[in-house]
Amino acid sequence: MHNLLVVIPAFNEEKNLPNVIAGIRKVLSEADILVVNDGSADATASVGRELGDVLVSHPWNMGYGVAIQTGYKYAFANNYEFLVQIDADGQHDPEDIPHLLEPLVADSCDFVLGSRFLAEGSYKPTLARRIGMKLFSALIRISTGERITDSTSGFQVFNAEVIHFLTGDHFPCDYPDADLLLVLHRAGFRIIELPVVMREDAGGRSMHSGLRPLYYIFKMLLSIGINLIRSVPERPGRAQ
Amino acid sequence: MTANQKIFALTICVVIFLMTIELVRRRRLREEYSILWLTTSLLMFVLVIRYEWLEKLTYLIGAVLPTTTIFLGALLFLLLIVVQFSMKLSEISNQLKNLGQENALLRAELEKMKDYEQEEKSEEKKTIETE
């Protein structure tokens, strides 16, 4: 598949990045790999330049959401048909990518979310995290009718129309999780969830430490509420 | 209101008004931020001249003393200024994000072009050497 871009947002991931890129190359030899270095202080940029196909380096650290949106902007500017988004800490198994791509290639959906809960026993989050995830899944179910088990998953695959849509202001750069799914659903995109395996021994650092979980819950609740009272977002190319 | 109080209040209004105009003239303050300052100083000026209007306003909002209305007005003014700044900050953050992304994407494009140029040059060298 020539028109596929794999986006790896990376912040201080010089150790995990080589394995992640090697894993992707093994499964998708023809895909282009874009490493978005989000202002790392270590050698992430040089590792990305050496092993990836393209390196985009932020001038300063702007956060995970902004890093993945930079990837979408690159994909949109270069007319990629499909985009795979995978974390740089090695928690996602690249072997899952072909099976996530299948429904997209068959055009039976626009956005595929890799769920760590649909695969049996692959992921066991802490109790607090589990409660938060259940809460947001319930909110998504109530507001959209979609059954989403893993709204915080960063393992996502989607098509060109979604890429274009997410380059605009609709994309919530500050922790794009449940609210992103809500925005996509309201815009009429077809979302499905497929099981993916989570690697426990990846050694990745959580983005949710200190007081961030509290802010995350507040931001997500506000964002979901606000999105419900906003007018339905317009899909690109549909405005006349 | 005593004459002294009136003179003091009017002086403050005039100073704020003139200072704002001067800052805009020197391009140290943008017009969009001067609106709230100018409106407030003008409003204060009118209320000092027409003190009975301030008393009426005090009665209307249910306050006992006109000074309460003044303090409330000052608080409201500061609140509006802060909200305006928060809105502007959000806008600037978004613009800065877009600028950072644009910068990163352009740099990547430039590096790609440089690599391509270098490759072309080395190929040219090779062909010259073989000839």
Chain A residue at shortest CA distance from B95: A169
Domain contains A117: yes
Domain contains A235: no
Establish if A69 touches chain B: CB-CB under 8 angstroms: yes
Whether the pLDDT of residue A202 is over 80: the answer is no
What is the total residue count of chain A? 240
Whether the pLDDT of residue A96 is over 60: the answer is yes
- Cβ atoms A30, A4 nearer than 8 A: yes
State pLDDT tens for residues A2-40. 599 999 999 999 999 999 999 999 999 899 999 999 999
Q: Over chain B, what is the mean pLDDT?
A: 92
Domain count, chain A: 1
Cβ of B105 within 8 Å of Cβ of A74? The answer is yes
Instruction: Give the pLDDT band (50/70/90) at residue B80.
Output: very high
Tokens of B107: 């740099």
A54-57 β-sheet, strand order: A54-57, A32-37, A4-10, A82-85, A156-159, A111-115, A191-195
Q: Which domain holds residue A143?
A: 4-229
Q: What is the ipTM of this complex?
A: 0.83
Q: At A131, which CATH number?
A: 3.90.550.10
Instruction: Give the pLDDT band (50/70/90) at residue A166.
Output: very high
Domain contains A110: yes
Domain contains A20: yes
Domain contains A195: yes
DSSP A124-154: ---HHHHHHHHHHHHHHHHHH----S-TT--
How far, CA to CA in Å, does A86 sit from each of A7, A23, A28, A70, A129? Answer: 6, 11, 13, 14, 21
Whether the pLDDT of residue A240 is over 70: the answer is no
Establish if A56 touches chain B: CB-CB under 8 angstroms: yes
Whether the pLDDT of residue A236 is over 70: the answer is yes
Domain contains A111: yes
Instruction: Give the pLDDT band (50/70/90) at residue B24.
Output: very high
Whether the pLDDT of residue A239 is over 50: the answer is no
Cβ of A57 within 8 Å of Cβ of B104? The answer is yes
Whether the pLDDT of residue B89 is over 90: the answer is yes
Chain A residue at shortest CA distance from B108: A56
Establish if A54 touches chain B: CB-CB under 8 angstroms: yes
Please tell me the distance in Å from A75's CA to the nearest CA on chain B: 11
pLDDT, residue A101, reads: 95
Please tell me the distance in Å from A147's CA to the nearest CA on chain B: 32
Cβ of B101 within 8 Å of Cβ of A73? The answer is yes
Domain contains A239: no
State pLDDT tens for residues B6-22. 899 999 999 999 999 99
pLDDT, residue A192, reads: 94
Instruction: Give the pLDDT band (50/70/90) at residue A61.
Output: very high
Domain contains A125: yes
